[in-house]
Structure 1
Amino acid sequence: MNQEQAYQFADEWISAFNAHNLAAILDHYADELAFYSPFIPLLKFNESGCITSKRDLERYFQLGLATYPNLHFTLHNVFVGINTLSIYYTSVNDRLACEVFQLDKQGKAEVIFCQYAKAISHCGD
């Protein structure tokens, strides 16, 4: 994966969420996956904070889009690794977020770690 491929993935991923286009969102994910997010228990989807099937991920994203009807992400940066990328963005309620995606050979996310800060703040605040 190079920087251009990572930015393309990130741009398409952000655009899909901002359009609330569930099919386009899900197109970024493999059928077999491990998706970890503190929002999973927060939205009372499950207590483990992990989703392991694309069908459950679809239901989780449906819940998230319904819970946050004004959801809009703002991309800040993309970091590239070996078959991985991290998307740094502003998420719901002005929370800073970073999602780490491990991609399979087809370029679909198969392991995803979501991390969030409380809200946007500046160093020293």
Structure 2
Amino acid sequence: MDLAFARKFAAEWQDDWNSHDLERVLTHYHEDVTFSSPMIARFTGDASGTVRGKDALRAYWARGLELIPDLEFEVMDVRAGVDTLVIDYRNQIGGRVYEVLTFRDGLVSAGLGAYGETLAR
């Protein structure tokens, strides 16, 4: 992982999400992806806050797009690790969120969303 890859990925990620085309977003994720977020618990009622597999991730994100039809992301910063990148972005209500994505074979194999004050909204 290098910063050039991380920046390119984050720009595509932002454009994909802002298109609201869920299949376009999901092209970046492994079939066996694991994703955790406090929003999963909020939207699905699953207290674990984790989904496993692309189909479960698709269902969670589809629900999110139903509940937030004006969803829009603006990437503020990107950080690169060994096999992980962090996207710092602002959402449609102005909240800052961090998306931490771990890659395997060029696709996201695990991710998590981390929220601050905007989680309470």
TM (norm. structure 1) is 0.90
Is residue 35–residue 110 contact of structure 2 (8 Å, CA) maintained in 1?
yes
C-alpha separation between the residues in 2 aligned to 1:86 and 1:3? Answer: 11
The alignment covers a number of residue pairs equal to 118
Amino acid at match of 2:78: V
Q: What's 2:64 paired with?
A: 64
C-alpha separation between the residues in 2 aligned to 1:18 and 1:53? Answer: 23
Where structure 1 has 5 or more consecutive residues not aligned to the other structure, the ranges are 120-125
1:15 aligns with 2:15: yes
Residue identity over aligned pairs, in percent, reads 31
SS of 1:94's equivalent?
coil
Where structure 2 has 5 or more consecutive residues not aligned to the other structure, the ranges are none
Is residue 45–residue 60 contact of structure 1 (8 Å, CA) maintained in 2?
no
1:35 aligns with 2:40: no
C-alpha separation between the residues in 2 aligned to 1:45 and 1:74? Answer: 27
1:116 aligns with 2:115: yes
C-alpha separation between the residues in 2 aligned to 1:44 and 1:51? Answer: 10
Is residue 44–residue 60 contact of structure 2 (8 Å, CA) maintained in 1?
no
Is residue 35–residue 51 contact of structure 2 (8 Å, CA) maintained in 1?
yes
Q: What's 1:87 paired with?
A: 87
Structure 1 stretches of 4+ moved >3 Å: none
Is residue 34–residue 50 contact of structure 2 (8 Å, CA) maintained in 1?
yes
SS of 1:17's equivalent?
helix
TM (norm. structure 2) is 0.92
C-alpha separation between the residues in 1 aligned to 2:44 and 2:94? Answer: 21
